[in-house]
Structure 1
Amino acid sequence: MSFRDQESGGEDAGRTSSSSDLRKPLLNTGSWYRMPPAGGMMGSRQSSLMERLGSSAFSLRDVAISATLCTLIVALGPIQFGFTCGYSSPTQDAIIADLGLSLSEFSLFGSLSNVGAMVGAISSGQLAEYIGRKGSLMIAAIPNIIGWLAISFAKDSSFLFMGRLLEGFGVGVISYTVPVYIAEIAPQDQRGALGSVNQLSVTIGILLAYLFGMFVPWRILAVLGVLPCSILIPGLFFVPESPRWLAKMGKMEDFEYSLQVLRGFQTDITAEVNEIKRSVASSRRRTTIRFADIKQKRYSVPLAIGIGLLVLQQLSGVNGILFYAGSIFKAAGITNSNLATFGLGVVQVIATGVTTWLTDKAGRRLLLIISTTGMVITLVIVSVSFFVKDNITAGSHLYSTMSMLSLAGLVAFVIAFSLGLGAIPWVIMSEILPVNIKSLAGSVATLANWLTAWAITMTASLMLNWSNGGTFAIYAAVSTMALIFVCLWVPETKGRTLEEIAFSFR
């Protein structure tokens, strides 16, 4: 059957599907815009909605404002994500001194967030599928709040470890749900920019942890970590649920209301409504996906691309570099490593902000190619500079030059990473996975990302102790593999609807 054939019959199939064929959501989180059913047909959708909403409709009539506001509210989740990642760096010495921890115990504390995130990643797809995108974010916020409070009041390592695990679980759910929600609510010409806000918010969270960590005690810093999710929970009641999820659950009236709120009350959404209905009707005809079906091109190719990008993102060594940035700066001869690490965070935020602006203009694929190429070049420069430093006399002019070169290369690497490989893999993962395997495949891809991040974080210190130059040479080789992978496999998704992207893999 051609796509045009599906178009002609998709809407009728959506209307005639019996309620027994639909998977009902387990939780209805509600929204401010929910209205009682109205009589009559939806042919005059805009006028009927305007009549029922009255003057309140004018507050969100602009598509850019509406989608952007929703994105900014859910972006509190990634800010929490980044704050969790950045918390351990400025607090290491104080926590070890106050609680009498050994270095290995603190290393375990740092890595437990990755362990919790892996558990959260496994459950994230099913939570988002059965409870909804908003419901899963609410559930993710609760263990984050409890975790930060446990760390703040910790008297020994047990509460510290428990809090870190709870934080990690919430972050694991957030890391999958937020990019998927943004991709499903954003207009196609803004999806890249709004999707990149996810990674931008992560970098802002890291930067805030670095900044406040220089001025407040570690317990107060943990209390500050409660704020993003504490604001997120009430904020979620003021944003619409994902229209595509509502359509998949068979809540067709809610689906149309949600989409109208997101697109503006003066916008004709008929074409988009029909396209989503066709896609949902087509996915219902293939509700049961067997393991053997994954071998089909329509499933295997997008799944391989999604997992490949998220794994290569972490194998580039970025988490290990950022986590041990202070030690690397010291090895490069920088005395004030905390200030240098904060400066690196500022650079990362600015570069990711540029990516947010460029994603829908330059395209995902081009930015990924530029990003990975820059990462290869800068990592080779850092590797060579460390190799040279290890073989010359400390204090010489060449030694000082190599120290500055390694520092410049490290900053340039963070810029190159932030321009593409930092944000875009999450954007593409949320765009290319077919709707009927998105929950399972998204969980697997997110789990692979967190598992790789944990492995890199655990091995980075050992590798840096073995050889600074050798470590960066290995990361350069992996970045070369990422460049080849992007050139051969990754398609351009700029300017295409989610339904068009899914159809292209058939």
Structure 2
Amino acid sequence: MQKPAKQVPEPEPEPPAPVQPKPSKWFTRRTSLRKKPSEQPGNLFHPPDSNVGLYKATFYSNIGSFLFGIAVGWSGAAEKSVMQRHSYDFQPSEDEWNGVCLLLTLGAAVWCVPMGLLMRCCGCRRTILIQLVPNALGWLLTVFAKSIPMLYAGRFVLGMCGGAHCVVVPIYNSEISPIRKRGAMGVLFQGACIFGVIYSFMMSIVLELWIINLMNLGLLTLGLLQILMPESPAYYVERGNISRAEASLRFLRGAKYDPRREIDHLMRTPTRIEYDVRQGPLRGFKYKKIRRSLARALVLAVLQKMCGALIFIFFGPNMLDCLRIRHEHGAFLALAVITGFLICFFLVDRVGRRPLLIISSAFIFFASVFLGLYFKIWVTINYTILPWIAFFFIGLFVGSYTAGVGSLTWLLNAELIVRLMRPVACSIICACNWLTAFFVVFWFTFHDIKCQPYLFLLFAIIAIIIMLYTLVYIPETKRMTSAKIQQRMGGIMNRPASIIITSSSDSSNA
């Protein structure tokens, strides 16, 4: 009898693999942020090996901005000494001294427009270097003035140099900076001017004016360092000098940096607008996109000068006299301004331009309202603490201005305009900016309302206008290429007008 076959037991089924939980959006975002810049999608350019060259070039380019800040602060710091005939052989009248203050702003407005055309021909570097000659001439006329007309001429020439730097330096800093550092490098122009103004006021407290004037002449030698700065790579590419463009990029990004992809981005096939602009600088204004970006930057630049900071710069001692506070305590205002600038410098590429503008204008509004109430109601009250509270709000005013409206306007002038139109458009914007400054200082000079409540009510209204204008018309430009910024300015509330097709290099980090 045959034995039955032994049954082989069937293998047990393997347990199902555990289902991996779907990562949250927060985890996915955090993981992508941990990737190296070269692993980020769309980042076509190699990250720079070193930013030392970029920092050097930015420092060199802003030496003229620092000297212009000294010239701006000089009138407020030197007023007492000059009016008491301690520094010159002549004694100007009050109206003549007001002319000394006004001519600086007028010279800046006059010299802005030619700088755009000069920059198209000579580039940013040469345009900045050219200003060394009139800058030295202006200080020589100011320091060794023998009459009021000679002092007028010196102040006017110094204003011309300042207007030139207002046009050229923000554009240069924008063109040499990678996108991730463009904001911080762009606001350094305002920072250099601020430190120049503070230097003038601080020196006037501890030194005689003739010593300060000689020191200012000595500081002109710093301008010779600007010879070491490289030209913008975009300037060389537009003229077909690729080897010079590569050398400039290696200076800015590091000796081991591969500039080929960034050069390819600069050499891409021009759009119709870019082609027309290359044929003539005025041809670009027939395009609605360029007119729209110019108008938005122009309005912001005019509002910046109407906001009130110039009054505190030119008439700061008068404000302290109104509060019955000694001028030595103005160091607190310097600290407030420096704090505001540092906030802007460290947050502009993290938080963005729009939030800083909105928060800055909001603080200016509240500070202006308090100061208006103080000079309307509380100034007659003999209460010791109130002047110091008002003094604190003046510090809040100037610090908030520097943290947003004052610094970001110069940066947005360059960012909102397409690259090839920047020389002409930014020169027009800066000319209008300084013409506004001229009329503002002129009006306040001949109307004794420096400590009146209505003055601060006006500042509060302008601050609200800036806030609403930013919300409606100013797009966020943080980490965006020029093409994407133009796409964001599609109309009211910054809705994109249409989808535009750009090259893949628009997503780059350069």
The match for 1:78 is 65
The match for 1:381 is 370
The match for 1:51 is none
TM superposition shift of 1:290: 8.2
| Of 131, 135, 149, the match for 1:158 | 149
The match for 1:52 is none
Residues 90-146 of structure 1 deviation map (CA, whole Å, 9 limit, x = unaligned): 211222213221111111111111111112212121121111111111111211111
TM superposition shift of 1:321: 2.2
The residue identity in structure 1 corresponding to 2:403 is L
**Aligned 8 A contact 1:383 1:470 in 2:** yes
The match for 1:220 is 211
Q: Is 1:441 paired with 2:425? A: yes
SS at match of 1:476: helix
The match for 1:119 is 110
**Aligned 8 A contact 1:321 1:460 in 2:** no
Q: Is 1:271 paired with 2:264? A: no
Q: Is 1:90 paired with 2:77? A: yes
TM superposition shift of 1:293: 5.4
**Aligned 8 A contact 1:382 1:405 in 2:** no
**Aligned 8 A contact 2:277 2:421 in 1:** no
The residue identity in structure 2 corresponding to 1:189 is R
**Aligned 8 A contact 1:153 1:219 in 2:** no
The match for 2:98 is 107
The match for 1:35 is none
The match for 1:348 is 337
TM superposition shift of 1:503: 5.7
**Aligned 8 A contact 1:386 1:406 in 2:** no
User: How far apart in 2 are the matches of 1:285 and 1:93?
Assistant: 54
SS at match of 1:422: helix
User: How far apart in 2 are the matches of 1:265 and 1:198?
Assistant: 26
SS at match of 2:449: helix
User: How far apart in 2 are the matches of 1:319 and 1:328?
Assistant: 12
SS at match of 1:448: helix
| Of 382, 398, 415, the match for 1:414 | 398
**Aligned 8 A contact 2:187 2:345 in 1:** yes
Question: Structure 1 residues 467 and 413, CA, compared in 2 at 3 Å: closer, same or farther?
Answer: closer
Q: Which moved more, 1:254-263 or 1:162-171?
A: 254-263
Determine what percentage of the aligned residue pairs are the same residue.
23
Q: Which runs of 5+ in 1 are unaligned?
A: 1-45, 47-60
TM superposition shift of 1:276: 1.4
The match for 1:458 is 442
TM superposition shift of 1:466: 7.5
User: How far apart in 2 are the matches of 1:459 and 1:118?
Assistant: 17
User: How far apart in 2 are the matches of 1:230 and 1:499?
Assistant: 40
TM-score of the two chains, using structure 2 as the length reference:
0.81
The residue identity in structure 1 corresponding to 2:434 is W
Q: Is 1:231 paired with 2:222? A: yes
Q: Which moved more, 1:261-270 or 1:138-147?
A: 261-270
Q: Which moved more, 1:174-183 or 1:149-158?
A: 149-158
Question: Structure 1 residues 65 and 249, CA, compared in 2 at 3 Å: closer, same or farther?
Answer: same
Question: Structure 1 residues 251 and 290, CA, compared in 2 at 3 Å: closer, same or farther?
Answer: closer
Map 1:217-366 onto structure 2 (within 5 A): 217-232=208-223, 234-278=224-268, 283-288=274-279, 294=285, 296-334=287-325, 336=326, 338-366=327-355
The match for 1:33 is none
SS at match of 1:131: helix
User: How far apart in 2 are the matches of 1:478 and 1:492?
Assistant: 21
**Aligned 8 A contact 1:243 1:258 in 2:** yes
User: How far apart in 1 are the matches of 2:286 and 2:367?
Assistant: 37
User: How far apart in 1 are the matches of 2:97 and 2:412?
Assistant: 35
The match for 1:481 is 465
User: How far apart in 2 are the matches of 1:464 and 1:372?
Assistant: 26
TM superposition shift of 1:340: 2.9
The residue identity in structure 2 corresponding to 1:413 is F
Residues 302-360 of structure 1 deviation map (CA, whole Å, 9 limit, x = unaligned): 101211111111111110122111111211221x1x21334312321232122111111
Question: Structure 1 residues 105 and 462, CA, compared in 2 at 3 Å: closer, same or farther?
Answer: closer
SS at match of 2:406: coil
Question: Structure 1 residues 198 and 160, CA, compared in 2 at 3 Å: closer, same or farther?
Answer: same
SS at match of 1:119: helix
**Aligned 8 A contact 1:145 1:230 in 2:** no
User: How far apart in 1 are the matches of 2:73 and 2:264?
Assistant: 44
Q: Is 1:490 paired with 2:474? A: yes
TM-score of the two chains, using structure 1 as the length reference:
0.82
User: How far apart in 2 are the matches of 1:404 and 1:237?
Assistant: 47
SS at match of 1:496: coil
The match for 1:12 is none
The residue identity in structure 2 corresponding to 1:458 is F
SS at match of 1:287: helix
Coordinate RMSD, CA, aligned: 2.3
- Higher radius of gyration, 1 or 2: 2
The residue identity in structure 2 corresponding to 1:333 is R
Residues 125-174 of structure 1 deviation map (CA, whole Å, 9 limit, x = unaligned): 11211111111111112111111111111122122111111111111101
TM superposition shift of 1:438: 1.5
| Of 412, 416, 420, the match for 1:428 | 412
User: How far apart in 2 are the matches of 1:281 and 1:374?
Assistant: 42
The match for 1:471 is 455
